[in-house]
Chain A
Amino acid sequence: MSAVNKISGKGVYVAGNDIDTDRIIPARYLKCVTFDELGPSLFYDERFDADGRSKDHVLDAAAHQGAKVLVTDDNFGCGSSREHAPQAIQKFGLEVVIAGSFAEIFHGNCTTLGIPCVVMSQENRTKLAGDIALDPEAELIVDLESMQVLCANSVYPVTMKESAREAFLSATYDPLDSLMATSDDVRRIADKLGYS
């Protein structure tokens, strides 16, 4: 696990509030025993019709190939706790999500995987989406130290949950090691509560 301070790359704007995890990855793609192959299933039903023909979704536009920054709207990732959703986002090549707000379990899953979820106002998201439309090749920089997104000549402020931000900067977003460090204390609590 290494620190995540800054992510730079092309952006892509997927519009809409309340985009749920069933849309991010339809349930039939949850059939797997590892997460390795999930990338192509991202937003599958939005991107392809029943016969597998492209619906010309923005993620498939030539200009957006290789994008690393996903920009979207409010309550992103609501619904199921399936980690398949952030896994698919990551395996697809997206490294950071900018939205108006996030559903909580989704936010937690992203953080553990090292995908920062940063919050930007609607006004600025509209401007940022405009910047991306104008020049899809432009590099965005999401800077978690200064909490800013830089694009072309604009600077947009962003916020994020402080504990998540600290975790990214200090490379502790995957909590497993720290959870394993206190097994004696955990045992004491288990005994106290009668959980053998």
Chain B
Amino acid sequence: MAKNLFQKVWEDHLVRRLDSGQYQVFMALHLIHEVTSPQAFGMLKDKGLKVAYPSRTYATVDHIIPTDDQARPLRDDMAEKMIQVLSEAADENGIEFFAPESGSQGIVHVVGPELGLTQPGMTICCGDSHTATHGAFGCIALGIGTSQVRDVLASQTLAMDPLKVRRINIEGELNIGVTAKDVILHVIRQLGVNGGVGFAYEYGGSVIDSMTMEERMTVCNMSIEGGARCGYINPDETTFEFLRGKERVPAGAEFDQAVEKWQSYASDPDAEYDDVVNFAASDILPTVTWGVTPAQAISIVENVPSPEDAEGLDKNLITDALQYMQLDADQPIKGTKIDVAFIGSCTNGRLSDFEAVAALIAGKKVADNVRAIAVPGSEKVDQAAREAGLDKVFETAGFEWRMPGCSMCLAMNPDKLVGDEVCASSSNRNFIGRQGSPTGRTILMSPIMVAAAALEGHVADAREVFEL
């Protein structure tokens, strides 16, 4: 019988049906970090349990690590303690830890793929909702809570419900200046923040086929913002070429064998789906958020909505979001003044993101009133960018080039908005207070749109600013 990738990977990793009606599923790869995992080791200790498969688990620090001064002990005592607890737990349990300055530290969803730990056909979990990123390689990649981190540490398995699969086709050719970020913001806008509940999203079609792995990761990364439990893309030649030669990927004949296996996980051509949604690439324009959820998005040429256009609770949602963002109904989003520009995060903090921006900002200057920071997603991204001289391009243009981490994506480190500052951000969440100030305002967009906003001092159309 024809099957989709989700079904194949699920069946391979299924242990049994539990009495509760849920299913026990083996986890091929478990990634842990300092914010949601230290507590799980405490829970294990309380129960006198050990880590069952330490070699299937990898640790790093990303969420709270400062990006200006990483000298230890960190200035923030609690941050220091969290890193210590994680690093000690990793040591005690024989878990490999990618510590700062190891050359491999970074945002957990940047590190897994760049080391080649993430491989097609795997079940992957991490105490972080953007684990969906790894789906770009043809994985079932799940964000989990701390009690589940405990479950996986103790048993290498999760109790979970099966998911339906929605195939999302994006066909045609993208307009100039439209990036992977615009594609996923457009999809979420159309399907809603809870449109994906109960589903895994399978992205496909000619637009996805011709994307690089880094672009595919950007798309899968934000599946969770559309309410989907995970998102994935079928592995193909692009996937295999990306993995070839990566540190943790087998080489030579073993690689060829692995490719054969990986290939077999791709959805069969006549696989069935619980739902299919089609998008035309030509409808997608550079897209930005105007409100406080990722679905509250419009293209750069549109005006923000008016509560008059909606009914019931939706009316309130629009009214509240406009009030919070200090925007008027029906005003253009273009021209909205910004205070901060942030390029980074697990959505858009990879080498290609910085390359794309550097090519456009070389010889230009960030507007006087804008604080602009570029934060590489990992030490490897940082190193590669420096080797290519990108850090200098950013600095000359007026950006600060920082050390790797999550930084202003969730502002658990010192990188925060102040008061009601507006941030043009390449991250993934524009929730109220997300960037560290309870009244801070976030406008999500692609890295090149952040660059355009940084130069102009207000939300701008990258196609005009850079004459694309």
Contacts and interface: CB of A to CB of B under 8 A. Distances in A.
Contact of A193 (B28, B85, B227, B313): B28
A178 interface: yes
A33 B80 CA distance: 11
Nearest to B128: A81
A53 interface: no
Given A33-B38, A104-B198, A22 B22 contact: no
B15 A182 contact: yes
Interface stretch (A24-32, A58-66, A143-151, A152-160): A24-32
A163 B161 contact: yes
A32 B411 CA distance: 15
Interface in B281-296: 293
A180 interface: yes
Contacts, number: 205
B360 interface: no
B145 A83 contact: yes
A95 interface: no
Interface string A18-62: 101011001110111111000000000100011000000000000
B36 A179 contact: no
Given A33-B85, A190-B156, A195 B151 contact: no
A3 interface: no
Contact of B129 (A27, A45, A105, A161): A105
B155 interface: yes
Contacts of A45: 432-433, 438
A32 B16 contact: no
Interface in B311-350: 313-314, 316-317, 320
A17 B436 contact: no
A34 B197 contact: no
A159 B197 CA distance: 16
B2 to A, nearest CB: 22
Interface stretch (A5-13, A71-79, A128-136): A71-79
A113 interface: yes
A34 B85 CA distance: 11
A83 B53 contact: no
Nearest to A86: B145
A35 to B, nearest CB: 6
Interface string B204-243: 0000000000000000000010010100000000000000
Contact of B155 (A23, A162, A167, A186): A186
B71 interface: no
A166 interface: yes
Interface of B: 12-13, 15-16, 18-22, 24, 26, 28, 35-36, 38-39, 42, 47, 49, 52-53, 55-56, 63-64, 76, 78-79, 81-82, 85, 127-129, 131, 143-148, 150-151, 154-161, 193-194, 197-198, 224, 227, 229, 293, 313-314, 316-317, 320, 410-412, 429, 431-434, 436, 438-439
A79 B38 CA distance: 21
Contacts of B148: 108-109, 112
Interface of A: 16-18, 20, 22-23, 26-28, 30-35, 45, 49-50, 73-75, 78-84, 86-87, 101, 103-105, 108-109, 112-113, 122, 161-163, 166-167, 170, 172-176, 178-180, 182-183, 185-186, 189-190, 193, 195-196
B35 A28 contact: no
A191 to B, nearest CB: 11
A178 B197 contact: no
A186 to B, nearest CB: 6
A20 B316 CA distance: 16
Contacts of B157: 179, 186
Contact of B410 (A27, A182, A196): A27
Contacts of A183: 52, 155
Given A33-B85, A175-B159, A26 B433 contact: yes
Given A81-B129, A162-B21, A179-B24, A103 B227 contact: yes
A50 B438 contact: yes
Contact of B39 (A32, A174, A179, A190): A32
Contact of A31 (B13, B79, B151): B79
A176 B21 contact: no
Nearest to B89: A33
Contacts of A176: 47, 150-151, 154-155
The 8 closest A-B pairs by CB, nearest first: A83-B145, A109-B145, A163-B21, A175-B159, A81-B143, A45-B438, A83-B146, A81-B129
Contacts of A186: 15, 24, 26, 52, 155-157
Contacts of B64: 31
B434 A22 contact: yes
Nearest to B38: A33
A73 B82 CA distance: 34
A112 B18 CA distance: 14
B151 A179 contact: yes
Given A33-B82, A166-B20, A175-B18, A27 B155 contact: no
Contacts of B26: 186, 189-190, 193, 195
A13 B193 CA distance: 22
Contacts of A175: 18, 20, 22, 24, 151, 159
B26 to A, nearest CB: 5
B317 A18 contact: yes
Given A103-B227, A178-B24, A182-B24, A27 B412 contact: yes
Contacts of B160: 108
Nearest to B21: A163
Contact of B432 (A22, A75, A189): A22
